[in-house]
Amino acid sequence: MAKDCRQQWWKEAKFGMFIHWGLYAIPAGEYKGRQTKSVGEWIMKHLSIPVEEYAEFAKVFNPVKFNAEEWVRLASDAGMKYIVITAKHHDGFAMFKSAADPYNIVDATPFGRDPMKELAEACRKYGLKFCFYYSQVQDWYDKNGCGYGRPDEEKDFEEYLERKCLPQLTELLTQYGDIGLIWFDTPQKCKPEHSQRIYDHVKSLQPNCIVSGRIGNQLGDYMSTGDNMLPLLPYPGDWEVPATLNDTWGFKKSDTNWKSPKQLIELLVKINSRGGNYLLNVGPTAEGEIPEACADILREIGRFMQKNGESIYGTKAAPAYPYDMDWVRFTTKPGKLYMHLLRNVGKLYLLIGNTFRRAYYLETGEPFEYTLTAQPASGTHRLVAELPETLPNELDTVVCFEMNEEDVRFETLDTL
Ligand code: FHN
C-alpha cells in the first residue's frame, strides 16, 4: 500500500545523512587478527565475539575528536537536510544517556558525554532535522533481544519491549527536543501488535515524528527500500533509499571503496527523478571523526548542490522517466522541468508542448541553445539541441525548461 509520510519537510528534503556509529568502530572490521568479510557494524555476529568480550570495547571507547558541529556542518555543506544516527544498533549499545539500561555511552565509557545532545543542538543551530535510528527487535546484548545467543523460544520479547525498547524510545523522544523521524530496522518476527505498540508510543510522545517503513507489519509512514536498492516501477507513495558511500555502514578501516562524487550525484538524481529520498551513510571512526576522504567527497557534492539545489529540493518524479537512458534524468516542480545531463550525447531531441517558454542552464542562467520546429501532425514542437563540446558541469549539467512539466516527451534516434 502506498504511504504518505504526511510531513512536508521530509518530502522536500530529498537528501539526508545516515550515520552508523557505535562500539563496532573500535575493531573497525578486524578482531584478534581476523577480518570480517561483511559490514563493520555486524562484526560481533560475524566473528562470533562473545557478549562479554564485545562489551569490553565500551571501557575504552573515548572518541575525543568528536565534534558535533563539524559533523552537522559537513552534512549541511553537502546539501543534506536531515541526519539519522544510530541511537542503538543491533549490538544493543546505546549511544545516548539511558536510565533504562546502563550499557550506554555516558555510563559505560570513559568518554562520558552524550553525543546525541550535542548533535541535537548542532542540528538546531544549522537548521537540519535530527532523527534517530533504533534497532527495535535485534539486540545481541540483551537476553530477551533478538539475536542474543539463546533460542528465541526461550525469550520474552514483551519483557524486552517494556523494560528496554519503549523506555529508551521515551528517552529519545523526550531528551533531545523535536525528532524528525525514528528509523526502525530489521523488524524480523515482530508481531503486528508489537509494531503497533511501538508506532503508537512514538506518536503519543511526538505526533509529528515520522516512523520509517522498517517498523514492520506495513505500519511505517513511508516505504524504506532495501539497502542500496530502488524501485524499478513507479511507487506512488513516499519512499527512501538507505545507501552506503563505500561498502559498509559502520566504520571499517580496510574499506576505502568510496563512490565518486559523480557516481553519488548520479544516484541522487536517479532516486529523486523517480520520486525518492536518498539517505547516504557515513561511518565515523572510534576517535569520533568522519574519514577525511569521505568528507571531501561530500563537500564536492555540496558544491554541486549549492548551484543546482533548485533541481533537487522539493522536486517530484518526472511524469514518465526514461528507464533505459542513463545519460539523462528529469525532476520537476510546478511550471519547471529540470533535465539532468549526466553524459554528453552530442545531440538531443525532445518533443515539447505549447506551454514551453524558455530553457537555460540552471547554474549559470545562460540560455540553452536549440532549434524548434512545429510538428503540426502531433500539435507539438520538436526541439533539437546540439550540445557544446564541454558541458558546464561534468558532474551533472542541469537545464531548466520553463513549461508545464507534463508537456515534454523524449525522442530518441530509434525508429520503430
Ligand atoms: O542490519 C542492518 C545493517 O547493519 C544496517 O543498519 C542497514 C541500514 O539500512 N540496515 C540493516 C540491514 O538492512
DSSP string, 11-42: HHH-EEEEE--SGGGTTTTEETTEEPSS-GGG
The DSSP H or E segment spanning 328 is strand 328-333
The whole-angstrom separation of Cα 164 and Cα 103 is 11
Q: Where are the alpha helices (DSSP H) in 274-404?
A: 292-308
Closest residue by CA, ligand 1 atom 7: 227
Dig out the grid coordinates for 171 from the structure. 528517552
* Statement: residue 168 has pLDDT above 90: yes
Q: What is the Å distance from ligand 1's center to 209 Cα? A: 21
Query: What's the chain's average pLDDT?
Result: 94
Residue 165: name the closest of 141, 149, 181, 131 by CA: 141
The pair phi, psi for residue 273, each rounded to 5°, is: -70, -15
What pLDDT was estimated at residue 322?
62
227, 251, 252, 282, best to mutate for ligand 1 pocket (most atoms within 8 Å of CB): 227
**For the chain, percent of residues with pLDDT exceeding 70:** 97
The pair phi, psi for residue 228, each rounded to 5°, is: 55, 30
Q: What is the Å distance from ligand 1's center to 306 Cα? A: 30
Contact between 396 and 340 under an 8 Å Cβ cutoff? The reply is: yes
The DSSP H or E segment spanning 173 is helix 166-174
Residues in the chain: 416
Closest residue by CA, ligand 1 atom 1: 186
What pLDDT was estimated at residue 406?
72
| pTM (predicted TM-score) | 0.97
CA atoms within 13 A on the CB side of 295: 11
Q: Determine the atom of ligand 1 nearest the C-alpha atom of 20.
A: 6
DSSP state of 213: G
pLDDT bin (cut points 50, 70, 90) of residue 2 is: confident
pLDDT bin (cut points 50, 70, 90) of residue 271 is: very high
| Intra-chain end-to-end CA distance of the chain, in Å | 36
Over range 64-87, report the average pLDDT.
98
* Statement: residue 412 has pLDDT above 60: no
Ligand 1 proximal residues by C-beta, below 6 Å: 39, 41-42, 185-186, 227, 242, 249
Q: Determine the atom of ligand 1 nearest the C-alpha atom of 226.
A: 13
What pLDDT was estimated at residue 414?
46
Closest residue by CA, ligand 1 atom 6: 249
Over range 341-349, report the average pLDDT.
92
- Kindly report which listed range (138-147, 164-173, 339-348, 374-383) carries the lowest average pLDDT score: 374-383
* Statement: residue 183 has pLDDT above 90: yes
CB neighbour list of residue 291: distance below 8 Å, 6 or more residues apart = 251, 282, 283, 284, 285
Closest residue by CA, ligand 1 atom 10: 185
* Statement: residue 377 has pLDDT above 90: no
Radius of gyration of the chain (CA): 23
* Statement: residue 379 has pLDDT above 90: no
Closest residue by CA, ligand 1 atom 5: 249
Closest residue by CA, ligand 1 atom 4: 41
Dig out the grid coordinates for 112 from the structure. 562520558
* Statement: residue 194 has pLDDT above 90: yes
Encode pLDDT of 141-164 as tens digits. 999 999 999 998 999 999 999 999
The C-alpha angle with vertex 402 and arms to 374 and 274, in degrees rounded to 5, equals 105
What pLDDT was estimated at residue 416?
45
Encode pLDDT of 6-38 as tens digits. 999 999 999 999 999 999 999 999 999 999 999
Place of cell 577480518: 35
Contact between 5 and 11 under an 8 Å Cβ cutoff? The reply is: yes
* Statement: residue 267 has pLDDT above 50: yes
How are the residues of the chain apportioned to helix, strand and coil, as percentages rounded to the nearest 5? 30, 20, 50
For residue 2, count CB atoms less than 10 angstroms from its CB and return exposed for 0-12, middle for 13-18, buried for 19 or more: exposed
The whole-angstrom separation of Cα 334 and Cα 194 is 41
Q: Determine the atom of ligand 1 nearest the C-alpha atom of 41.
A: 4
